[in-house]
Amino acid sequence: MQNLLQIIQKYSNFIVFILLEIAAFLLIVQNSAYPKSTVLSTCNSLVAWHYELENTIVSYFQLKEDNEQLQQENVMLRNQLVLYANERERYKESENVYRYANLQHHFIPAKVIQMNMGGMKNYMTINKGERDGIKEDMGVIGPIGIVGKVCTVSQHFSIVIPVTTSLNFGVSCRLQKNSKLGTLSWDGNDDKHAQLTEVESSVDVQPGDIILTSGLSTTFPENLPVGVVEKAYVKNGDAMWTIDVRLYTDFSKLSYVQVIDNDIANKELEQLKSEME
C-alpha cells in the first residue's frame, strides 16, 4: 500500500499530465467534424461578445466595400423584380402559385462577426442564434452567392461552415444552361474556388457557364447563384469532368449574410413523406 502511494507521489506530475491529455483528446475527437460544443467555441456568448466588440470597430473600415456589395445585390434584385413583374402579369390567374412559393422560405439577416479562413477547417461566427429562429443545417447566403450552412447554434450566436471547407457537405448544384446536376466540393487550395464534381464528361461544359443551386436538398432553395465555371477538363480515363468554379462570394469581404429559414419547406416535405407511407 505504502509502495503504491509512493509511486503515485513520484509520478503525480505524469498522472496529471496524462489525465489532462486524455481530456484534451476526448474534446478533439468529440468536436472533430465541427465545434459541437457551444461553450468551447466562438458561439459562447462571452467569446462572441468579444468578437462583436472588435467587429463594431473594424466594420467601419469596410463600409465602402459593404455598400458596394449591397448596391450590387440591389441591382440584381431589381432586375429580377422587373422580370417577375412581367411574368406575373402573364400568369395572373395562377396567383396562388406565387403565394405558395413565397411562403416556403424566409430569410433572417445576420452579420459576420468573426471568420477564420485560410486553413483546412474554416468557420465563421454570426450574431444571430436560437432566439432569432436559427437552427442547425440552415443554409446561409451572402449578398451575391451562397456562403455555407449553420453547424452550431447558441442562444444569441451561431457558427457557420462555409462551402470552402474540408468537411465537404456537398451542395447540390446545376448548370444554368442545361440543368445538368453536380455536387459542389472543395479541394482545400483557396477559398475563392470550389470544385463541381459528378458531372459526366458527355455534358457540354464551357468556361463562363453559370452554376446555380438545384434545390434538391432543403438547405438551399432552387436557383441561388453559386459561381462561374473557370476551368473544365477531363482527366485521362475519367468519366467525369473536373470543374473549377469561381465562387461569387468573396469571403474576405463578406460581412452581411442571410440565413435561410426552411422550416416550412421541411415540414411540408415531412408531411408528404408521411403521406406516402
Partner 1 sequence: MKWSKQFIRFVIIFLLQILLINNLHLSGLCHPYLYIVCLLIMPITLPNWAELIIGALVGLIMDAFCNSPGVHMAACTLLMLIRPYLIGRMVADSERLTDEIDLSTMSTMSFFIYATVLIVTHHVMVFVLTNWFHGWLFTIGQIIISSAITLGLVFGYLFIKKK
Nearer to partner 1, 12 or 178 (CB): 12
Span 135-174, contacts to partner 1 by CB under 8 A:
159, 166
> Residue 81: left if φ>0, alpha if ψ -120 to 50, beta else—which one?
alpha
Residues forming beta bridges with residue 246, ordered by sequence position: 193, 228
Work out which of 52, 123, 126, 165 binds partner 1, going by CB under 8 A. 123
Could you tell me the sign of the dihedral formed by the alpha carbons of 48, 51, 57, 58, in that order? Answer: negative
Nearer to partner 1, 122 or 213 (CB): 122
Residue 16 interacts with partner 1 (CB under 8 A): yes or no: yes
**Cβ at position 203, least distance to partner 1 in Å:** 30
Task: Please state, in angstroms and rounded to a whole number, the distance separating the CA atoms of residues 197 and 191.
Answer: 17
DSSP 198: -
Considering CB under 8 A, how many residues would be counted as binding partner 1? Answer: 39
Span 233-262, contacts to partner 1 by CB under 8 A:
252
Residue 110 identity (one-letter amino acid): A
Q: Phi and psi at residue 44, in whole multiples of 5°?
A: -60, 130
DSSP 252: G
Residue 30 interacts with partner 1 (CB under 8 A): yes or no: yes
CB 203 within 8 A of CB 180: yes
**Cβ at position 125, least distance to partner 1 in Å:** 8
Residues that bind partner 1 (CB under 8 A): 12-14, 16-17, 20-21, 23-32, 35, 37, 39-42, 44, 47, 50, 54, 58, 116-121, 123, 159, 166, 188, 252
